[in-house]
A and B are shown apart, each in its own frame.
Chain A
Amino acid sequence: MSPRHATEDAPWVKALILAVMALFLAFILLLPMISVFYEALRKGWEPAKAAIQNPDALAAIKLTLITAAVTVPFNAVFGVCAAWAVAKHNFPGKSFLITLIDLPFSVSPVVAGLIYVMVFGAQGWFGDWLIDHDIKIIFAIPGIILATIFVTFPFIARELIPLMQEQGVDEEEAAVSLGASGLRTFWSVTAPNIRWGLLYGVLLCNARAMGEFGAVSVVSGHIRGLTNTMPLHVEILYNEYDFVGAFAVAALLCFLAIVTLALKTLLEMAQPQSRPARH
């Protein structure tokens, strides 16, 4: 038997911990996931396919994809800006900004939705002005996108802040002292150093943007075929006892999430040395 490493536990301890972990993951994660697909296909392919090809379902899928397509670039740009400001600069109110970035993680999404209703709703602060100018935010797509941006904002910023902090400003200072402009320094030095962290944040943000329920539920108004996203559509079908339909759409949602995570894993395997500090 080869000698054990100093930090290694006895084999039986290791086996026990692994077993507990595996059991836990199986019950909490794997089983529900499998049951979603099982329920969706309980009556075979055709009903599931029909549920997804239903015009309302297609509208929900489309809206979800639009929401993600707007939210992710928006949060990518502002996440990079926020992380850059926090990690590379000192200014008064910095810790307040960091707290603010975390706010969406600590506030219940329902509250976030209610805030938007209060601000932009018909009875809200800007309600009259918005009605006068014929702009619809609440119970419309802009509200859904706003709520989703709010909920998913921290994913990219939070991913980048520790990465940028750890990298420090040495390389940027070197670039500047070699004559590079601020913009050139960002594109040639800062951006390449954070690209994998950014991609990781983008994927997580995307997964969450497609799956967000609480905040969107408050601002959407649940208008079938118009303001229903996939998670909301699942809920409606479920409440109408259309289990196959609900699970079929849910399975599609799961599938999108799995694709996202698989993409992330593939990227990590392709670039193992690019994330040296975060094992």
Chain B
Amino acid sequence: MTISIRSVEKTFGRYPALNGVSLEIADGELLALLGPSGSGKTTLLRAIAGLEFPEKGQILFNDQDMTYASAAARQVGFVFQQYALFRHMTLAKNIAFGLDVRKGAAKPPKAEIDKRVDDLLNLVELPGLGKRYPAQLSGGQRQRVALARALAVSPSVLLLDEPFGALDATVRKSLRKELRRIHDATGVTTIFVTHDQEEALELADRVAILNHGVIEQVGTPQEVHDSPVGAFVAGFVGEANRLEGSVKAGHFQGGEIALPAQGAADGAAVAFVRPHDLIRAPAGEESFFITTDRINVQGPVARIEGKTPGGQRIEAAFERNSAEGLRRGDKLGLTAQKAYVFSA
């Protein structure tokens, strides 16, 4: 199912939580909604689910206007950040709920429901735990049950609000893989909210970046990382050194750091340089120098931190062997292979 979101606005009191959001989601896509806290991610997801109704704009499922359709009519699967499992029901009852509440001919026979519950418990790798209660599970297990419950009704869209937010790093990683596997197995159009960019970049087909109730950029993980369209995305996705300065005739100057800035308008500007795009320059070709004050080797990468003479902090990341022989306090000549410059 395709979803079109067109100029959706939603305010709480006088505060605009969504400020004209437009977004197209293709059938079978796995899209991540990424943004800082309070940017409107949950609000947008709830508007798609029918748990919140926008004041303006439209939400279309397969070209059908669903803006004000009830949550029950939308057939979306929603996975809540805090699981929201029915605490007085067994896992099997939880998962079967969406089928149990159906009426008349739409309700599958009991044997079929039982089979579906078993299949889903297998899918989320909790076989045989159907008789347990939510309180008897770990956080990661509860999240899997929440996922199974949402999938039970064969939703046309699966919405997940920070599904792994409350879990520790290892469990997150494995559930992430599992979500990708389940998505590939079911082919259901999926939107998940996260403020963990690593998660978004690793898992999603496309990433939509939300800030102050506005979509800043939508693109593949590589696009938003390598070709940010604005200062917010450049600073928010991936690591970057942020430099303030000005552009004149296609050149950025910020303190003693000069960078190429083709196409940028003259005037005050901010530049972003990723640590990985800084390289150790051969003698004579340095574009600026830093005095290193921290060298940290993590596996194959050496991370260098230092300061320019003008006091600008710079972080660089080299391949380990090109940092060979470097000591704390050394003067280091750098040059940027790539920089993102935007008018301030």
Residues of A within 8 A of B (CB): 170-171, 173-181, 184, 188-189, 192-193, 273
If the complex has contacts A178-B98, A180-B101, are A173 and B71 also in contact, measured as CB distance less than 8 A?
A: yes
Interface residues of B in 58-108 (CB under 8 A from A): 70-72, 74-78, 80, 82, 84-88, 97-98, 101-102
Do the beta carbons of A175 and B97 come within 8 Å of each other? Answer: yes
Do the beta carbons of B72 and A170 come within 8 Å of each other? Answer: no
If the complex has contacts A177-B49, A178-B149, are A193 and B88 also in contact, measured as CB distance less than 8 A?
A: yes
If the complex has contacts A174-B78, A177-B76, A180-B72, are A188 and B101 also in contact, measured as CB distance less than 8 A?
A: yes
Kindly state whether residue B203 has any CB partner on chain A within 8 Å: no
Nearest CB in chain B: distance from A176 CB, A: 5
Do the beta carbons of B88 and A179 come within 8 Å of each other? Answer: no
Q: How many A-B residue pairs have CB under 8 A?
A: 61
B135: chain A residues at CB < 8 Å are: 273
If the complex has contacts A170-B80, A179-B75, A179-B153, are A184 and B87 also in contact, measured as CB distance less than 8 A?
A: no
B102: chain A residues at CB < 8 Å are: 179
Residue of A nearest to B72 (CB): A179
Nearest CB in chain A: distance from B271 CB, A: 44
Interface residues of B in 232-291 (CB under 8 A from A): none
Residue of B nearest to A178 (CB): B98
Interface residues of B in 140-171 (CB under 8 A from A): 149-150, 153
- Select A173's contact among B75, B77, B78, B87, beta carbons within 8 Å: B78
Nearest CB in chain B: distance from A34 CB, A: 41
Do the beta carbons of B101 and A178 come within 8 Å of each other? Answer: yes
List the 7 closest A-B pairs by CB distance, nearest first: A170-B84, A178-B98, A180-B101, A174-B84, A177-B78, A192-B88, A176-B71
Kindly state whether residue B26 has any CB partner on chain A within 8 Å: no
- Select B97's contact among A170, A173, A180, A192, beta carbons within 8 Å: A180
Nearest CB in chain B: distance from A3 CB, A: 31
Do the beta carbons of A179 and B87 come within 8 Å of each other? Answer: no
A273 to B153, CA, bound (A): 31
Residue of B nearest to A184 (CB): B101
A275 to B150, CA, bound (A): 27
Do the beta carbons of B101 and A179 come within 8 Å of each other? Answer: yes
A193: chain B residues at CB < 8 Å are: 87-88
- Select B101's contact among A170, A181, A192, A273, beta carbons within 8 Å: A181
Question: Could you pull out 21 A-B pairs where Cβ atoms are within 8 angstroms?
Answer: A171-B86, A171-B87, A173-B51, A173-B80, A174-B85, A174-B86, A174-B149, A176-B70, A176-B71, A177-B49, A177-B51, A177-B71, A177-B72, A177-B74, A177-B77, A178-B98, A179-B153, A184-B101, A188-B86, A189-B86, A193-B87
Do the beta carbons of B88 and A173 come within 8 Å of each other? Answer: no
A170 to B83, CA, bound (A): 8
**How many B residues have CB within 8 A of the partner chain?**
26
Nearest CB in chain A: distance from B114 CB, A: 17
Nearest CB in chain A: distance from B166 CB, A: 13
Beyond A173-B71, A177-B76, 13 additional pairs, beta carbon < 8 A: A173-B78, A173-B84, A174-B78, A174-B149, A175-B97, A177-B50, A177-B72, A177-B77, A178-B150, A180-B101, A181-B101, A188-B101, A193-B88
A221 to B115, CA, bound (A): 66
Nearest CB in chain B: distance from A270 CB, A: 15
A184 to B80, CA, bound (A): 20
Do the beta carbons of A178 and B82 come within 8 Å of each other? Answer: no
A175: chain B residues at CB < 8 Å are: 86, 97, 101
Nearest CB in chain B: distance from A177 CB, A: 4
A176 to B72, CA, bound (A): 5
Among B50, B80, B101, the most chain A Cβ lie within 10 Å of the Cβ of B101
A180: chain B residues at CB < 8 Å are: 72, 97, 101
A177: chain B residues at CB < 8 Å are: 49-51, 71-72, 74, 76-78
B98: chain A residues at CB < 8 Å are: 178-179
A137 to B80, CA, bound (A): 52
- Select A171's contact among B51, B75, B84, beta carbons within 8 Å: B84
A175 to B77, CA, bound (A): 11
A176: chain B residues at CB < 8 Å are: 51, 70-72
B76: chain A residues at CB < 8 Å are: 177
Residue of B nearest to A179 (CB): B72
Q: How would residues 193 to 218 of chain B score, 1 for a CB under 8 Å from any chain A CB and 0 otherwise?
A: 00000000000000000000000000
B51: chain A residues at CB < 8 Å are: 173, 176-177
Nearest CB in chain A: distance from B148 CB, A: 12
B50: chain A residues at CB < 8 Å are: 177
B101: chain A residues at CB < 8 Å are: 175, 178-181, 184, 188
Nearest CB in chain B: distance from A144 CB, A: 38
Residue of A nearest to B79 (CB): A174
Among A170, A177, A189, the most chain B Cβ lie within 10 Å of the Cβ of A177
A74 to B303, CA, bound (A): 71
A189: chain B residues at CB < 8 Å are: 86
Interface residues of B in 282-306 (CB under 8 A from A): none
Nearest CB in chain B: distance from A208 CB, A: 28
Residue of A nearest to B106 (CB): A179
B84: chain A residues at CB < 8 Å are: 170-171, 173-174
Nearest CB in chain B: distance from A211 CB, A: 33
Nearest CB in chain B: distance from A195 CB, A: 8
B97: chain A residues at CB < 8 Å are: 175, 178, 180, 188
A174: chain B residues at CB < 8 Å are: 78, 80, 84-86, 149
Residue of B nearest to A167 (CB): B87
